[in-house]
Chain A
Amino acid sequence: MSSTTVESTPSSPRGAESRAQRSGDGTSTGPGPSFLRVLNSEFIKFRTLLSTLILLGSTVVVMVGFGALSAWGTGQFSEAAAQDPEAAARIAAQGGDLAVTVPTSGIAFAQLILGSLGVLLMSSEFTTGMARSTFAAVPRRIPAFAAKLVVVVLTSFIITAASTLVAGLVSVPILDNYGLGLDLGSSQSVKLLLVNSLYVAAVAAIGMSLGTLIRNSAGGIMSLVGLFFVAPIAFQLIPGDFFVEARKYLPGNTVDPLTAVEHVPDTLEAWQAGLVLGAWVVIPVLLAAVLLKKRDV
């Protein structure tokens, strides 16, 4: 069943007039999908979805709301404690730690929302068929994956950092009411803001990898919830030293060691926690990239 085609160059007269280089094996000379162009495209895709903007807005609302609520709760607690010498002693022992974690008290919800966003941005490509357009324009695929990852990670970091800052600004006057000071410029405040924002960005990257691997929105989000919300509880409930030890290595348990003022016994060292979180990001991302390149769209 061989084709009988002879190498001919059938350029019609009209074609020859209007587009001299049309026929033959010439490929176009215009700009191709460089990484920056693909990044721009992914950013356009990101900002032109209403659902994305709603999720980003929700993150800010939740973070600021929980910050304010936590400031109020912390204030109440400290007032009650002042009348109770024992409690007062406990707070004194913890120093300023009580107030300093107030701005990031909504982080568990931010990680859920932005992690889900990470899942959705990739899984929706496959569920809607958009992936065919995306990867037809960028057949090498990896640039599109990397560009989307950059958009997801950067946005998650910026939104978390910004909403932590706003939550802090809202919390300061509330805490002040109860005579509690919160210095947003202190090194511990800055550390908490940066580490938590990096952490949420990492969760979003894990989410995007899950979305790429599973290609299904519900499945991806369920896996994410399983990893960050179900596994820590399950590991606590299952008896045995193994699970006690393993629990430390769950990605959700790396933030506390990373932000601790002093190392707490029975937790990872900060550098260990950093490596563990890094591995939780790098391994799924690489796996997702390799399989995305290999699998059919």
Chain B
Amino acid sequence: MIEARGLTKVYGDKTAVAGVNFTVEAGRVTGFLGPNGAGKSTTMRMIMGLDRPTSGSVTVNGSPLTKHAAPLRDVGALLDAKAVHTSRSAYNHLLAMAATHSIPKKRVHEVIEMTGLADVARKKVGGFSLGMGQRLGIAAALLGDPQTVILDEPVNGLDPEGVVWVRNLVKYLASEGRTVFLSSHLMSEMAVTADHLIVIGRGKIIADAPIQEIITGKGQGRTRVRTDQPDRLMQLLAGTGVSVEVQERELLEVKGLDPRQIARAALDSQVLLYELTPLQASLEEAYMELTKDEVEYHSLITTGAPVEAGGK
């Protein structure tokens, strides 16, 4: 469990993190979302004891990382792509990290296998692709079999297979009861990976809620309808609280009715529908909306182009 209390980091006259409070619970994947410069990486570095908080504190399992007897066994982190000397091989890097905690060579080989680095483990890290660097970072994070795993932009630079692998890995780690804290710019990725979301903007926490709550907002579901009688259907659906938007000649977007109500209305009047897709606000939209007004984050009004409901 990670707990931040009044956590603040000021660089010169710029406040990167402004007194944030949050708790990252064990047993679920907590996403950490925010644009560049919002304070995500700074927060993660403070958790790892690399940056000192200007004020406030952040603890892992009740104490700051500097007080832990075996930090690598308690917290594993991937911070930025390559926190590795470029002239050293992946194997030797892991070996040196493992040596600090007397982690056996067997475990080094395990994480190399686990992250699919076996073929390149003896090569210099400088020649690694971004994706390989990420895999090495994840291998290093898992080295101590830590209770808490912190991953900063883990899917950045990974191929689709790697993205799916990370997604499954973090879910698996959370299912084992570990604390998983993960940041990503790929908000759609967040939508399918995280259980809980902490949204940060300009150094402040904007939202801290289950992901589904953030995406769906308050009943703002929309439905995409394709029909060869769009005008007829629009007449049928018209009513209070219902808005219909014509997107293409035979493509409508309906707000205020659920797909079942739309289908019922069409069936009653013998109007043919050939697509009926429930839409959710994308996390991007939800996020835009959240950051637009930091106060009104309870009532989500989704605007802009919708995308299909997440890939679950």
A residues adjacent to B (C-beta < 8 A): 1-5, 8-12, 14-16, 18-19, 22-33, 37-38, 40-42, 44-45, 48-51, 124-125, 128-133, 135-140, 294, 296-297
Q: Is the CB of A2 within 8 A of B21?
A: yes
The complex places the Cα of A157 from the Cα of B41 at a distance, in Å, of 41
Which residues on B sit within 8 Å (CB–CB) of A50? 87
Q: Which of B83-101 contact A (CB under 8 A)?
A: 83-89, 92-93, 95-97, 99-101
Residue in B25, B66, B147 whose beta carbon sits within 8 Å of that of A28 in the complex: B147
A31 and chain B: residue at smallest CB distance: B102
Smallest Cβ-Cβ distance to B124: which chain A residue: A50
Which of A2, A133, A138 is within 8 Å of B83, CB to CB? A133
B45 interface residue, CB < 8 Å from A? yes
Q: Is the CB of A137 within 8 A of B84?
A: no
B144 within 8 A of A: yes
Q: Which residues of B contact A140 (CB under 8 A)?
A: 66
Is B51's CB within 8 Å of the partner chain A?
Answer: yes
CA distance A294 to B52 in the complex (A): 8
Q: Which of A22, A124, A139 has the most CB of B within 10 A?
A: A139
Contact pick for A32, options B21, B23, B73, CB 8 Å: B73
Measured between beta carbons, the chain A residues less than 8 angstroms from B22 are 3
Q: Per a CB cutoff under 8 Å, which of A1, A4, A12, A30 touches B176?
A: A12
Decide if A128 touches B72 in the complex (CB within 8 Å): no
User: Nearest 4 pairs between A and B by C-beta?
Assistant: A15-B177, A32-B70, A28-B73, A139-B49
Residues of chain B contacted by A48 (CB below 8 angstroms): 88-89, 92, 95-96
- Contact A139 to B147, CB < 8 A, known contacts A3-B23, A22-B178, A27-B74: no
**Bound CA–CA A40/B62 (angstroms):** 30
Q: Are B175 and A51 in contact (CB under 8 A)?
A: no
Residues of B within 8 A of A (CB): 1, 20-23, 25-28, 45, 48-52, 61-63, 65-66, 68-75, 77, 79-80, 82-89, 92-93, 95-97, 99-103, 140, 144, 146-147, 175-178, 204-205, 208
Q: Using Cβ atoms and an 8 Å threshold, which residues of chain A touch B89?
A: 48
> Which residues from chain B contact A31 at a C-beta distance below 8 Å?
70, 101-102
Complexed CA–CA distance, A135 and B87 (Å): 19
Q: Give the distance in Å from the alpha carbon of A27 to the alpha carbon of B88 in the complex.
A: 31
Q: Contacting A25 at CB < 8 Å: which of B1, B86, B178? A: B1
Q: Nearest Cβ distance between residue B48 and chain A, in whole angstroms? A: 5
Q: Are A137 and B204 in contact (CB under 8 A)?
A: no
Please determine whether B176 and A3 come into contact, CB atoms closer than 8 angstroms.
no
Task: Say yes or no: A32-B101 contact (C-beta < 8 A), given A44-B96, A49-B85, A132-B80.
Answer: yes
Query: Considering only CB atoms, which chain B residue lies closest to A130 in the complex?
Result: B85
Least Cβ distance of B291 to chain A in Å? Answer: 15
